[in-house]
Amino acid sequence: VSPLEPALVLEFVRGTQVNSKWILGFGPRKIGSASLDLPIWEPGAPATCFEIVPSSGGLIFKTSRPDIVLLNGEAVDSQVLRVGDTIRILDTLIEVDFTE
């Protein structure tokens, strides 16, 4: 477990969890329909939608389901997250930000 500095902010802007905001201060973290910690309520969402992994180059978004989980509208397996990135899981849309 490593601290995420600055903390990652995931804001739900569309879908069943709209108006929810998660602030993640440590990682790695797994997000998905089977997660007790960070559950995705979207019907049809994978058990693990994506993971957040700290690295020396920043926070890495990883998914084994790029067919369902899109980063900035594209199917990618892994990429460093930036402010303004969007994560789409079917009809759920999440915006990425960081605390100041």
**CB atoms < 10 A from the CB of 3, how many?**
10
Residue in 59, 61, 97, 57 with CA at minimum distance from that of residue 79: 61
Task: Say whether pTM exceeds 0.85.
Answer: yes
pLDDT at 73: 98
Please give the average per-residue pLDDT across 15-19, as a whole number.
Answer: 96
Q: Is the pLDDT of residue 5 over 90?
A: no
Q: Measured between alpha carbons, how far is 16 from 79 in angstroms, rounded to an integer?
A: 26
pLDDT in tens, 32-77: 999 999 999 999 999 999 999 999 999 999 999 999 999 999 999 9
As a whole-number percent, the residues of the chain with pLDDT over 70 amount to: 100
